[in-house]
Structure 1
Amino acid sequence: MAIRTKIAAAMAVLLIVAVSIIGFVTVQTVSSHLIDQLDRKLHGLVEQKTIPVSGSEPSDETAGEMPYSEVAILVFGEDGGLVDAQPAGFADDPYSLPDVQAPPDTKGYFTVDSENGAMTYRAVSTGLVTIKGVTGTYTIVFALPTAGVEATISTLTRTVLVTGFVVGALGILIAWVVTRRGLRVVDHMVADAEHVASGNLDHRITAADPRTEMGRLSLALNRMVSRLTDAITQRDRQHERLRQFVADAGHELRTPLTAIGGYVQLYESGATPPGEKLDRALNRIGSENARLAKLVDDLMVLSRLDEEVGGDRELVELTQLAQDAVDDAEVADSTHPISLSARRPLTVVANEGQLRQVLVNLLTNARVHTPRGTAIDVSVAEHVGWAVLRVHDHGPGIPAEHRQKVFDRFYRADPSRSRATGGSGLGLSIVSSIVAAHGGEIRLDSEPGEGTAIEVRLPIARLE
């Protein structure tokens, strides 16, 4: 059953029940009120001091004086026999008398049928009383016809039924129209959702009034679709990056493996007899093996960082760590003058080994990609709660088309991948991954002819 049908059916049931209850209460209340009016009128008759009872049939003169009587009167003697009776109605066509054969036991009000069963009376008994001018005691019963009350109740009942039917029908019709118009936005949302499900991820749900439930639902669905779209896009990018990563890793691994295999084949074929040629071949095998081991180590580092294994964290004094890295770099390569600027010690929470690797990779990258004699400036400073490590070389800089990709894995500005232009292209990728794992930021600033500056920002440790 459609939701609009359910709402219309529920509205119909509620209206029918409500109208039935209201009609029933109304009819009962009006009926009780009309009966109470008859009872009050009977009470006034009981309070009368003189009651016209002659002991015989009414005369023509009496009938002429009272052409219509709204009350029927029955008088019972002390022995319980009917002494006199005055019917209600017109004198020439009186109503049938109330069907009371003996004096009632109580003085309360009661309802009784007529003798012929054609109508009912509301009656009351006075009990044993004396009548002025008449000896003895009598029981008098006054009765008023309820035809007027019954007609009023019957008319009211028909009115309630007709009105209830009309109100119920109008209510159901209005509920159907309102729910149909109110749920029209749901039909649009279903159509939009099917459009998105068909593969059109750029499509969005038609937004409704945000103050309504449907409006909030449409906004929530749009946010959900956007997140799903972003997730799918991110997944596709990761798949593409993985594919490129596998291709690049295979290319990088193939080069040393091919070199090692070639020298082994030369040795096995006897083309490298003992002597200088064999020593050179073994030296090349060892060099390529070291290159292969370094590449595998870098890949393992990236794998651990991708799994968010940051290692043990401790308080690390960044200024001292930078000083150690600068000293090591000057020993490894004296052709690049390196200077360190640091005003005061700065402490961060980090894995010391990984942070050392960041410094080593940045300094190595600066030395490898700049000519001999190029100065390198290293600085450690504080800026708004961040420890800022900056490595600035005064080399040729990075072309604009390569700046956005230098942190990608296996990316190198030289597409030939010659060893003379650097390593495997994993150094800055490792730096970026380590900084991200420590909740930091990395920035690149480079202009042709003005050198390259790489800035690493890490949160300063708060010591209490």
Structure 2
Amino acid sequence: MGFATVLEQRAHLLGDLDRRVGDAAERSRSAVPAGAAAGTGPGSLDERGQPTGTITARLDGGGAVLTAELVTRSGAPRELGPAQRSALAGAAPDGTLHTRSVPGLGTYRFTALDGGGRPVLTALPMDDVQDTIRGLVVVEGVVAAAGLTVVGCVCAVVVRRQLRPLERVAAVAAEVSRSPLGPGGVTGPPRVPEQDADPGSEAGQVGAALNRLIDHAQTSRAERLRGEEEARRGEERVRRFLADASHELRTPLASIAGFAELMNRGAGRVDAALAWRRVSAESARMTGLVEDLLLLARLDEGRPWPSAEVDLAALVAEAVRDARAAGEEHTWQLALPLDSPAVVAGDEAGLRQAVSRLLANARAHTPAGTTVVATVEATGTSWVIRVRDDGPGIPPALLPRVFEPFSRADPSRSRVSPGHGGSGLGLAVAAAITTAHQGRIHAESTPGRTEFTVELPAAHPAPPVEPPPSPGPADHTPAPHPGEEATVHPG
């Protein structure tokens, strides 16, 4: 703006000076007396009205200055010297404006006109114009410098204020970079404040991006720690599994080795018969344990099961009948929806084994006289098998891992009846078989009520059936009719 102002002001002042030079030249030409000789001096031109500092001169045909005079403050003209006249020479009398520096006088603006064969030259000083432009340049420079200084200070303050959120973002990033990444690291790393994470500004976009990065890093760290924890737990489960399996196998092997040693020492006929019975029992126990381990291994490999339609009502009824025969000291009850077939797709032998394991678990870990109820219910798209007993219950600490291999309860549910104890694989096998059939198994337990729930997808969706009421005591249950519950009990 200052540069444009100086140019505009200079053009305006030069235009005004050129106009005045032209006017002065016209006056000089009109003042040339008619018939004046070529050698006549400019004093004979009648220079009235010319301002102070005006130079008037007579030229010859070649543009050489013949005579030249300067109008002084006193009004008396002063003759110019040869060097000064030489500075004005060479101007054509065509009205063209020229700028020359006259020695001892300064810069002049002049023009030459033809005065009837007698060219005249008129020049006016440019000192006023140059002084004005010079002063304007100084003023503009000072104003521009002051303005730029003020603007620079304001911009510095504004930019620093605008960068404060970015500085806080950088501080958060530095603090996050110093946070440890190990298991003992900070669980909640610092985050950029909400006011510094506004996506409407550039700094806010950086803050929001940093928050997303922190969230991603925190999620990845949590997943890594969770994976490490799961791997550690998996290793512990494997070690515990191997230890439990070794313990379970060592017990029957020790019994077999002991009775074999007894027979090798030549025991009597009675002792030999007893030894063979014990060897057979321990061999059967060890065989069952090995078969359970092989079954779990096969289920973990995800091998396909044979699939056919299975009637859960008949399957559960047979399993309860077998459980009653094995545990006559318990009260066994069965509740079935007899108005619709409970059909699922799967392996009948595997599902029977899963239900039998649940019933055997209730028999082995509850005292004599406990009531065990098996129920089959419909939920529309699935069939639910419930095995409930009124025994002492499962300890809360054991309930989350009750379906893990070799999981055993505390003395409240561990092998209440002699000879009824298992290897700790029954519930694990039941859970594995249920999962292999795309089902779910769940356990709930409180003192006096333990319930295992197995949910299997129905082969043919059936309308939901209201859960039947708990069956009454065996001696008060009449014979079932179609659409009623069936109760199986001892005797």
Q: TM-score, normalised by structure 1?
A: 0.66
Matched, 1:156 2:140: yes
How far off is 1:101 after superposition? 3.8
Q: Is the 8 A contact 2:312 2:343 kept in 1?
A: no
Matched, 1:406 2:402: yes
Q: Is the 8 A contact 2:354 2:430 kept in 1?
A: yes
CA distance in 1, matches of 2:299, 2:178: 41
The residue type equivalent to 2:293 in the other structure is V
Task: For residues 38-84 of structure 1, give each alpha carbon's deviation from its aligned partner in whole angstroms, at most 9, with x where no partner exists.
Answer: 3532564577596232674579x958862466xx7787654222367
Task: Provide the residue aligned with 1:81 in structure 2.
Answer: 64
How far off is 1:176 after superposition? 4.5
Matched, 1:243 2:243: no
| Alignment gaps of 5+ in structure 1 | 1-25
How far off is 1:239 after superposition? 1.6
Matched, 1:102 2:85: no
CA distance in 1, matches of 2:341, 2:43: 131
1:191 to 153, 159, 175: 175
The alpha-carbon distance between structure 1 residues 442 and 397, as it changes in their structure 2 partners (threshold 3 A), is farther
Q: TM-score, normalised by structure 2?
A: 0.63
Equivalent position SS for 1:114: strand
* Matched ranges for 1:386-405 at <5 A: 387-396=382-391, 398-399=393-394, 401=396, 402-405=398-401
The alpha-carbon distance between structure 1 residues 281 and 153, as it changes in their structure 2 partners (threshold 3 A), is same
Task: Provide the residue aligned with 1:114 in structure 2.
Answer: 101
The residue type equivalent to 1:407 in the other structure is F
The residue type equivalent to 1:41 in the other structure is D
Give the total of aligned pairs: 417
Task: Provide the residue aligned with 1:18 in structure 2.
Answer: none
Task: Provide the residue aligned with 2:13 in structure 1.
Answer: 38
| Alignment gaps of 5+ in structure 2 | 33-40, 199-203, 326-331, 462-491
Equivalent position SS for 1:456: strand
- Identity within the alignment, %: 13
Q: Is the 8 A contact 2:57 2:120 kept in 1?
A: no
CA distance in 2, matches of 1:102, 1:223: 86
The alpha-carbon distance between structure 1 residues 369 and 150, as it changes in their structure 2 partners (threshold 3 A), is same
How far off is 1:104 after superposition? 6.7
The residue type equivalent to 1:286 in the other structure is S
* Matched ranges for 1:207-356 at <5 A: 207-209=192-194, 210-211=197-198, 212=204, 213-214=206-207, 217-218=210-211, 220-221=213-214, 224-225=217-218, 228-229=221-222, 231-232=224-225, 235-236=228-229, 238-240=231-233, 242-264=235-257, 266-267=259-260, 270-271=264-265, 276-277=273-274, 279-280=276-277, 282-301=279-298, 303-304=300-301, 309=302, 311=303, 320=310, 322-323=312-313, 325-326=315-316, 329=319, 332-335=322-325, 336=332, 338-341=334-337, 352=346
CA distance in 1, matches of 2:4, 2:419: 106
CA distance in 1, matches of 2:248, 2:293: 13
The alpha-carbon distance between structure 1 residues 137 and 63, as it changes in their structure 2 partners (threshold 3 A), is closer
CA distance in 2, matches of 1:169, 1:97: 55
1:201 to 171, 176, 186: 186
What CA RMSD, in Å, does the superposition of the two structures yield over aligned residues?
A: 5.2
Q: Which has the larger radius of gyration?
A: 2
The residue type equivalent to 1:205 in the other structure is P
The alpha-carbon distance between structure 1 residues 436 and 264, as it changes in their structure 2 partners (threshold 3 A), is closer
CA distance in 2, matches of 1:278, 1:295: 26
The alpha-carbon distance between structure 1 residues 81 and 325, as it changes in their structure 2 partners (threshold 3 A), is farther
Equivalent position SS for 2:186: coil
Task: For residues 340-378 of structure 1, give each alpha carbon's deviation from its aligned partner in whole angstroms, at most 9, with x where no partner exists.
Answer: 437767998x9x45x974663244213431468955433
How far off is 1:102 after superposition? 2.0
How far off is 1:142 after superposition? 7.2
Q: Is the 8 A contact 2:445 2:451 kept in 1?
A: yes
How far off is 1:208 after superposition? 0.7
Q: Is the 8 A contact 2:386 2:454 kept in 1?
A: yes
CA distance in 2, matches of 1:426, 1:118: 123
How far off is 1:157 after superposition? 3.0
